Amino acid sequence: MNPQFQQASFIPKRPLARSGQSRRRFSKHGTGALHVIGLTLFFIAVAGTIGVFAYDRYLKNHITNLEQELEVATQIPDIAFVEEVKLFDIRLRTANELVTNHIAASEVLRLLQEVTLHRVQFTNMKFDATKKDADAVVSLEGVASTFATLSLQADEMKMHKDINEATFSNVKLTEDGNVSFSVKLAIDPEVIRYRRLFEEEAETTQPTDTDTSASADNVNPL
C-alpha cells in the first residue's frame, strides 16, 4: 500500500477544536443572558410588591382621613339650616303671639246682642281693651222703656257668665217718658280673644258621643 494513502486523513482536527470552543463560548453567553433576565424579572417583582404595599398603605391612610373628616362633618351642624330653623321659630312665635293677643271686637257686639232686652236700646258705646290680661271695659249709654225694664236689664247683665261687673249710673227720666242710663261693663278678656273663635269652631266640628251613638243606632244590621 502506498504510504501516502496511509498518512492521508479525512478527519479535520482543527475545525473540530474551533467548534468546541464556539459551543463553550455560546454556553457562557447564553447562561449570562438568562442570568440577566432572571435578575431583571426579580427586581421587577420586588418593585411591584413594594408598589402594591405602598399603594395599600396609601388607600388605608386615605380611608382613615375620610372617616375622620366625615365624623367631624357630622358633628358640625349645618349653619344655614340652623339659621333657617331659627327664623322659622321666630315667625311661628310672632304669629302665635299675634293670634293670642289679637282682639275680636265683634265678640263684644255678639255679647250685647245676647244680653240686651227688646225694650232697651243703646245710643252710644266706648270700648277699651288696652290693658293686657285685664277686663275689657265697655261703656254704654242707653234708653229703657221703664224703670222695671231697666231693672231687668241690670239683672240680665249681672248674671251673664262673661260679664264680671255691671255698674249703672246717670239713671233719669226723659221728657218722652223713657228712662236714660249709663252702664259700664267689665268683660272677661277671654271673650274677646281671637283664638277663642278657632277653639269654639274646633269644638263644634268634633263629633260628640251622642252623635256617634245616634249614628251607630241608625245603621241597619245585616
Edge-first strand order for the sheet with 179-187 is 120-128, 136-144, 179-187, 163-173
184 versus 209: the higher-pLDDT residue is 184
- What band does 5 get if pLDDT is binned at 50, 70 and 90? very low
What single letter denotes the amino acid at residue 2? N
Q: Per-residue pLDDT averaged across 36-59, rounded?
A: 77
Angle of helix 79-101 relative to helix 194-205, nearest 10 degrees, comes to: 90
Average pLDDT across the chain, whole number: 76
Q: How many Cα atoms occupy the beta-carbon half-sphere of 210 within 13 Å?
A: 0
Return the top range by mean pLDDT from 22-31, 60-69, 70-79, 121-130. Answer: 121-130
Q: pTM to 2 decimals?
A: 0.48
pLDDT tens string 155-206: 999 999 999 999 999 999 999 999 999 999 999 888 887 776 666 555 666 6
Between CA 164 and CA 168, with CA 165 as vertex, the angle to 5 degrees is: 160
pLDDT at 32: 65
Q: Are strands 120-128 and 136-144 parallel, antiparallel or unpaired?
A: antiparallel
Check whether 91 has a pLDDT greater than 70.
yes
